[in-house]
């Protein structure tokens, strides 16, 4: 019984990759001396990213075509349903002359969508993003292929017949479904399929709003659940391609027109940040209202297929009182941001829009949430801005900026996509002086929402199904710590020629032996040849009572390098099905210098928890290793 001695060198046959065989070893052991199994190094980027990037660009171009086709289909259905004409021009339902008969249009649309959901796919229900999140989290990003046409078709029918929804949710869901379909056809890994899904979703949003950066941020915050170059690069390229195609087809003008605004003063900035508190509570109330309506419909004694038609009744009745509440309503956002819709009118309009949208969405019909939330938030912001300008005229509060902040902040609080909300409001209006108010107001709303509401409007549905959705993403602890920081040294090792009986006796009488579950095995020249466990030793049976330790070595050792990360080591343990790894250096890969066990991984986490409790930095301990294992310095008596 000896301990490993670091610092010794040994020659290795580089051509064959085999370790030299000591003459004292039995010939049968030679077959075991294959190259040691080393961990797979985790790389940020590799050549595979080039393939994924090419696919991402293709998805971006395809998503731009889908977005254009969906908007044309919505226009066609709107023209047919409300005006009786064959045209794909994008118009709103507000100019119809149907009178009270207008109620029949959204009811009919609801009936069609309900039947599509029941006999086509129930997955078309909802606003798209939560459903995509669920597939990413729990189904390896596998979305049924039929969703690539059922979702946009159902959304076009719902919105085209007056549903008060945005087209962006269904387009995002359709782009994600297309990316998932491509990933399933090519049989890529689950991680790569998730990247393709997110790339398609981001491309859909980018193609709709010409907002490529916020589309990437939305994908990161709501779909990728990570921030890694290997997923970020394809998503960013997909969003870029989609935006470029959108600009080629529709021009470069911002989606929402807004007069230029001046830089805010200190008083105005403080007012916008304070308004964020109200927007945060509003986002919480909006989310709870939507799910309260959904809960109420769950109690109805009729099949859910009929619920969208009941929601259509509400949409039609509200549409008689305020025709502009029907349809996508991007023009309403323009009017609010320009200051054309303000005062009491904007309060009444936004209240009616909210009632129509919440009651209709709660039925499970197909439609997006982004545009309605922007409308409601913009109206609330306009009202608060007007009140602040009246109460504090010297602060210089701009009602239009307040509306823009409200638009983004309500969405930030409801979705918890903070950065995406800020950048989206900027990209769709091109108002650089609004960035600071947007950042302050959205952050405050996000904070209030997080403190008052456990789940967002995107994750509440998933959480209700018993799944846990993590919204805070931190760097992997195991990626930050090297094996050399935590592995124990020196090491209790066994000589290949040690008698099994003597080793068992030594383990039974020495605490340092009895506390170990596995032992590296070295030859006479202290070169690693394998690992044996207590079970190997004590289950050897009478036949091996006089045998040697070398006879128990069954396969080449699984090793880890001292400069590997704990994440690489942990993954290697799982792949090899072992609970410990001999630690070696890259200069001498057959000399054991330490050992890493599963308990060492727990120790790394315990030190992190201790540091957090003391308020210290997560990791300041580098250099000296944990206390060394004490071993018997005297060799076994043979």
* Residue 545 near residue 552 (C-beta atoms within 8 A): no
Nearest to residue 449, comparing CAs of 403, 407, 408, 412?
412
Quote the pLDDT of residue 24.
Answer: 43
d(CA 479, CA 284): 36
State residue 604's pLDDT score.
80
309 CB-contact burial (10 Å; exposed 0-12 / middle 13-18 / buried 19+)? buried
Task: Quote the pLDDT of residue 607.
Answer: 73
Cα 402 from Cα 437, distance rounded (Å): 8
Q: Which two tokens stand for residue 21?
A: 């065989």
Positive or negative torsion for Cα 402, 404, 405, 407: positive
What is the pLDDT, as a whole number, of residue 617? 52
Q: Distances in Å between the alpha carbon of 247 and those of 33, 68, 226, 254, 430?
A: 62, 12, 29, 10, 15
Q: What is the pLDDT of residues 361-403, one digit of tens each?
A: 888 887 778 888 999 999 999 999 999 999 999 999 999 999 9
Torsion of CA 447, 451, 454, 459, to 10 degrees: -10
* Angstrom distances, CA of residue 259 to CA of 164, 313, 334, 431, 532: 26, 37, 10, 9, 75
Report whether 179 contacts 198 (CB < 8 A): yes
Query: What is the pLDDT at residue 123?
Result: 76
Q: Give the model's pLDDT for residue 419.
A: 93
Q: Which two tokens stand for residue 121?
A: 């796919």
Which overall architecture, per CATH, does domain 48-250 show? Orthogonal Bundle (1.10)
**Strand blocks (E) in 555-631:** 560-561, 580-584, 594-597
The CATH fold of domain 2-38+477-614: CBS-domain (3.10.580)
- CA-CA distance, 545 to 547, in Å (whole number)? 6
**CA pair distance 388, 396, nearest whole angstrom:** 9
Buried b (16+ CB within 10 A) or exposed e, 357-389: bbbbbbbbbbbbbbbbbbbbbbbbbbbbbbebb
Q: Which pLDDT score is estimated for 124?
A: 79
Which pLDDT score, from 0 to 100, does residue 603 have? 81
| The pLDDT of residue 630 | 35
Q: What is the CA radius of gyration of the chain?
A: 32
Give pLDDT, residue 82: 93
Alpha helices in 79-160 (DSSP H): 104-119, 129-138, 147-160
Which among 394, 380, 428, 425 has a CA at the least distance from the CA of 276?
380
Coil, strand or helix: which one is 594? strand
The token pair at 505 is: 């006796």
Q: Which residues pair with 488 in a beta bridge?
A: 595
How far apart, in whole angstroms, are the C-alpha atoms of residue 538 and residue 401?
76
Start-to-end CA span in the chain (Å): 11
Establish whether domains 2-38+477-614 and 266-464 are of one fold: no
pLDDT, averaged per 10 consecutive residues of the chain (638 residues), comes to 42 36 43 65 78 94 90 92 89 86 92 90 76 77 82 88 84 88 88 91 91 93 84 95 92 88 92 96 93 89 91 92 88 88 85 90 81 91 93 92 95 92 94 94 96 87 73 75 83 85 80 71 87 78 66 85 89 88 88 87 77 56 38 37
CA-CA distance, 382 to 401, in Å (whole number)?
Answer: 8
Cα distance between residue 623 and residue 427, in whole Å: 48
In whole angstroms, what is the distance from residue 560 CA to residue 580 CA?
10
**What pLDDT sits at residue 540?**
57
Contact between 280 and 441 under an 8 Å Cβ cutoff? The reply is no
Topology of domain 266-464 in CATH is Clc chloride channel (1.10.3080)
Q: Is 203 helix (H, G, I), strand (E, B) or coil?
A: helix
pLDDT at 16: 37
Domain ranges of the chain: 2-38+477-614, 48-250, 266-464
């Amino acid at each position: 019984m000896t301990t490993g001695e670091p610092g010794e060198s040994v020659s290795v046959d580089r051509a064959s990759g085999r370790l030299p065989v000591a003459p004292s070893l039995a010939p049968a052991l030679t077959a075991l001396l294959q190259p040691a199994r080393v961990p797979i190094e985790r790389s940020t980027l590799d050549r595979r990213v080039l393939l994924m990037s090419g696919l991402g660009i293709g998805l971006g171009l395809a998503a731009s075509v889908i977005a254009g086709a969906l908007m044309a289909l919505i226009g066609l259905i709107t023209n047919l349903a409300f005006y009786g004409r064959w045209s794909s021009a994008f118009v709103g339902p507000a100019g119809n002359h149907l009178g009270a008969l207008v109620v029949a249009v959204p009811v009919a649309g609801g009936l069609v969508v309900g039947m599509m959901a029941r006999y086509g796919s129930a997955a078309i229900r909802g606003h798209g993003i939560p459903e995509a999140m669920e597939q990413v989290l729990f189904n390896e990003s596998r979305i049924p292929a039929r969703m690539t046409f059922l979702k946009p078709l159902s959304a076009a029918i719902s919105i085209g017949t007056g549903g008060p929804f945005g087209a962006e949710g269904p387009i995002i869901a359709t782009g994600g479904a297309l990316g998932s379909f491509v990933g399933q056809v090519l049989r890529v890994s689950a991680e790569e399929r998730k990247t393709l899904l997110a790339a398609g979703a981001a491309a859909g949003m980018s193609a709709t709003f010409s907002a490529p950066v916020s589309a990437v941020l939305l994908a990161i915050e709501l779909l990728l659940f990570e921030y890694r170059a290997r997923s970020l690069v394809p998503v960013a390229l997909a969003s870029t391609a989609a935006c470029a195609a959108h600009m080629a087809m529709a021009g470069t003008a911002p989606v929402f027109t807004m007069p230029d605004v001046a830089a805010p003063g200190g008083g105005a900035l403080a007012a916008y940040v304070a308004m964020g508190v109200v927007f945060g509570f509003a986002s919480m109330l909006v989310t709870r209202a939507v799910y309260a309506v959904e809960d109420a419909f769950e109690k109805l004694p009729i099949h859910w297929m009929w619920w969208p038609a009941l929601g259509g009744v509400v949409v039609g009745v509200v549409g008689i009182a305020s025709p502009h509440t029907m349809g996508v309503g991007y023009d309403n956002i323009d009017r609010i941001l320009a200051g054309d819709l303000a005062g009491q009118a904007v309060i009444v309009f936004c209240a009616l829009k909210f009632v129509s949208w919440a009651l209709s969405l709660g039925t499970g019909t197909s439609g997006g949430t982004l545009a309605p939330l922007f409308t409601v938030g913009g109206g609330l912001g306009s009202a608060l801005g007007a009140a602040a300008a009246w109460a504090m005229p010297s602060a210089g509060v701009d009602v239009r900026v307040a509306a823009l902040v409200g638009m983004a902040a309500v969405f930030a609080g409801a979705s918890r996509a903070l950065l995406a909300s800020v950048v989206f409001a900027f990209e769709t209006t091109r108002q650089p002086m609004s960035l600071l108010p947007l950042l302050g107001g959205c952050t405050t709303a996000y904070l209030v929402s997080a403190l008052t509401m456990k789940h967002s409007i995107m994750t509440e549905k998933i959480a209700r199904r018993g799944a846990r959705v993590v919204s805070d993403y931190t760097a992997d602890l195991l990626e930050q710590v090297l094996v050399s920081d935590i592995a124990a040294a020196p090491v209790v090792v066994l000589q290949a020629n040690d008698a099994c009986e003597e080793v068992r006796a030594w383990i039974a009488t020495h605490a340092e032996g009895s506390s170990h579950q596995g032992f590296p095995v070295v030859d006479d020249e202290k070169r690693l040849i394998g690992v044996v466990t207590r079970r190997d030793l004590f289950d050897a049976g009478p036949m091996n009572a006089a045998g040697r330790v070398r006879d128990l070595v069954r396969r080449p050792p699984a090793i880890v390098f001292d400069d590997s990360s704990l994440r690489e080591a942990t993954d290697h343990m799982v792949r090899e099905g072992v609970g410990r790894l001999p630690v070696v250096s890259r200069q001498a890969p057959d000399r054991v210098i330490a050992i890493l066990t599963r308990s060492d991984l727990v120790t790394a986490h315990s030190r992190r928890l201790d540091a957090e409790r003391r308020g210290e930095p997560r990791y300041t301990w580098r250099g000296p290793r944990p206390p060394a294992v004490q071993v018997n310095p005297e060799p076994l008596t043979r």
